[in-house]
Structure 1
Amino acid sequence: MTDHVVTQGGVAHHGVGAGVVWALAAGLLWGLVFVAPLMVPEYPAALQSVGRYLAFGLLCVPLAWWDRAELRRLRAPDWARALELALVGNLLYYLLLASSIQRTGGPLSTVIIGTLPVVIAVVANWRDAQRDGRLPWLRLLPALVLIGGGIALVNHVELTAVLADPTRRVADYALGALLALGAVVCWTWYPLRNADWLRAHPTRSARAWSTAQGLATLPLAALGYAVLAAWWAWHGDAGWLPLGPRPMVFLGLMAAIGLLASWLGTLCWNAASQRLPTALAGQLIVFETLAALLYAYLWRGRWPEPLALAGVALLVVGVLWGVRLRPQPVVAQAHPD
């Protein structure tokens, strides 16, 4: 059974349910990357970023055999797009995110990244109305307010805890917040740019496009690792070579998130992007926030405070509100002449 149909005016409504399921799967997988820096806190964020995407790229080499026919259809502009998506949406984003988490803690960085549904929905609703239809601002506003309110409550709880901890440095906290904002910029750009290619190629395989991005990431991550190795060798800090003080733990963790979060998560998100209007898909990134908060609290070994739970509830209600909205076609106005 065909579960989605792409038309010139946007995405057919019967594909939205499947798109939401794909977006939920992507969020659950992507949430794993928020706890990885907490599991190996002694590893520099730069090494975690290149390690994750080295694993992702190497895993995509044998996977490319399955999609060799689709990959052969890609031309130079397609590979250039995959390369820029890999650089900004993969390596740079995770470098900023991991650096932020190491300075602020998992939940705080997560709620800052949690502003993405609001930011992407606003940008996409302004940018892609002619293609996808417009979600009326007044109908979109309640969902955005609910999501924003939920994020604010969770952020309040985490910020209060940070300020009450005498071992935390305000400078580290501020820098971590700025790094998280940089990650927000990267991942506002990435899904919009990625959706442009997917919507322009509706018959292409989402899995093959995920693999193509992994193959494009591999040389970038290898170059990044070479630069780090040269830096450590130059400064006589060879203890990090080749895989740091806990090589088996680090290697296993990077392989796990490379496969589950980077490849499979991207595959799920690509499938969602082909079925959903960009503004609606942007709101569903909140699933990543919810999953990341769940994993962070599980890693801490304690349940969140009631106010934080209330914030999570608002996030869920906001998502459900957004899912029920349907974009309205934009009617081109006649030229006054």
Structure 2
Amino acid sequence: MKRGIAYAALAGAVWGLAIVVPSLLPEFSPLMLSCARFSLYGAFSLLLAAPQARELLQRLTWNDAALLVKLALTGNLIYFMLLASAIQWAGVASTALIVGLLPLTITLAGRGDADALPLRRLRWPLLLVFAGICCINLDTLLTAQSDSLELGQRALGLLCAFGALLCWTWFATDNARYLKGSRFNSSQWSTLWGITTGLMSALVWLLADGLALPGTQVEAGEQRWMLFWGLSLSSAVLGSWFGNRMWNASTRRLPLTLSGQLIVFETLFALLYGFISLKHLPSLLQSSAALLLLAGVLWAARRHLPQPH
């Protein structure tokens, strides 16, 4: 169990870096941000899979392939497009308020699994996690500057945030249940998942560019394009391949009622990176949020330990 928690923390550490990319590249559309990141993720995964390609293909079934397509859409391509759209249209504060509910929705989705704890035993840890999420979003709302986003655009952004929440809850549940009895190890499954995601992203990008859809044409200087590709490559290797591999290793070892709450590591590391970049200490509300989140997760982990007879 300790290794599973450590793997989840590593996943959160790199996801916390990747989640800031849409706010750093506002002139690039969610479609371009998503397709570039995941096409590079697919290319990197394909290189890693080359030495064992024949073995992986022989073990892959049609059911596996169908699940990989579903996971590629819900956990990567559609999720990141919705997340980037929500950040750019509704703002970071509103998006964080909604997507921050992932620890609760994933835990609730896994409540019926054989290795799940009854929710009554997790109600207090879950309450601490929820209180921490509220503190984070309250601080964000209080410190956010007023903007001129139109009502319709903001409403569309909020719908995207709810869609992202639904996508990743669905993904985390299906992926965790499959990995419990999978014929592939965490690294192999992450690689196959990456190849599938990359192929779908490249096809979507080619189709969108061929149809000249909005968001496929960007006017930006050379330095901004270099930053775009540099951040996309970093997100692909660290945020996608390495992060997904660590998350797979974690969910293989832990019940959903615990692994769902460990997604808070992404929030905690995103806060940490923000403090480092801004060169200031956290406020009282931010410190309280971090302590509540950590306390809730540690309490939940303790509840999952075998009880002495």
- Flag whether TM exceeds 0.5 (same fold): yes
Identity of aligned residues (%): 36
In the aligned structure 2, how far is the partner of 1:204 from the partner of 1:120? 23
Task: Answer with 1 or 2: which has the greater Rg.
Answer: 1
In 2, are the aligned partners of 1:19 and 1:276 still within 8 Å (CA)? yes
Once the two structures are superposed, what CA deviation does each residue of 1:172-220 show, in whole Å capped at 9, x if it has no partner? Answer: 544433322211100100011011211122x521100000011111221
In the aligned structure 2, how far is the partner of 1:297 from the partner of 1:105? 19
SS of structure 1 residue aligned to 2:253: coil
Residue identity matched to 2:238: L
2:207 equivalent among 207, 219, 227: 227
In 1, are the aligned partners of 2:31 and 2:216 still within 8 Å (CA)? no
In 2, are the aligned partners of 1:53 and 1:91 still within 8 Å (CA)? yes
Residue identity matched to 1:59: F
CA shift in 2, pair 1:231/1:292, >3 Å: farther
Alignment match, 1:332: none
Alignment match, 1:186: 167
1:161 equivalent among 143, 147, 150: 143
Determine whether 1:200 maps to 2:172. Answer: no
In 1, are the aligned partners of 2:11 and 2:266 still within 8 Å (CA)? yes
Alignment match, 2:235: 257
In 1, are the aligned partners of 2:32 and 2:216 still within 8 Å (CA)? no
Alignment match, 1:213: 193
CA shift in 2, pair 1:301/1:170, >3 Å: farther
In the aligned structure 1, how far is the partner of 2:167 from the partner of 2:242? 20
In the aligned structure 1, how far is the partner of 2:97 from the partner of 2:52? 36
CA shift in 2, pair 1:283/1:36, >3 Å: same
Query: 1:287 Cα deviation (Å)?
Result: 0.7
In the aligned structure 2, how far is the partner of 1:294 from the partner of 1:200? 35
Residue identity matched to 1:199: K
Once the two structures are superposed, what CA deviation does each residue of 1:273-294 show, in whole Å capped at 9, x if it has no partner? Answer: 1111121111111111211232
RMSD over aligned Cα, in angstroms? 2.6
Taking the TM superposition and a 5 Å limit, the aligned residue runs for 1:108-147 are 108-125=94-111, 127-128=112-113, 131-132=114-115, 134-147=116-129
Determine whether 1:21 maps to 2:6. Answer: yes
In 2, are the aligned partners of 1:101 and 1:176 still within 8 Å (CA)? yes
In 1, are the aligned partners of 2:208 and 2:216 still within 8 Å (CA)? no
In 2, are the aligned partners of 1:35 and 1:106 still within 8 Å (CA)? no
Residue identity matched to 1:226: L
Alignment match, 2:37: 52
1:63 equivalent among 48, 64, 73: 48
In 2, are the aligned partners of 1:91 and 1:221 still within 8 Å (CA)? yes
Query: 1:36 Cα deviation (Å)?
Result: 0.7
CA shift in 2, pair 1:313/1:175, >3 Å: farther
In 2, are the aligned partners of 1:146 and 1:314 still within 8 Å (CA)? yes
CA shift in 2, pair 1:79/1:196, >3 Å: same
CA shift in 2, pair 1:207/1:166, >3 Å: closer
Alignment match, 2:86: 100
Q: Give the TM-score normalised by the residue count of structure 2.
A: 0.90
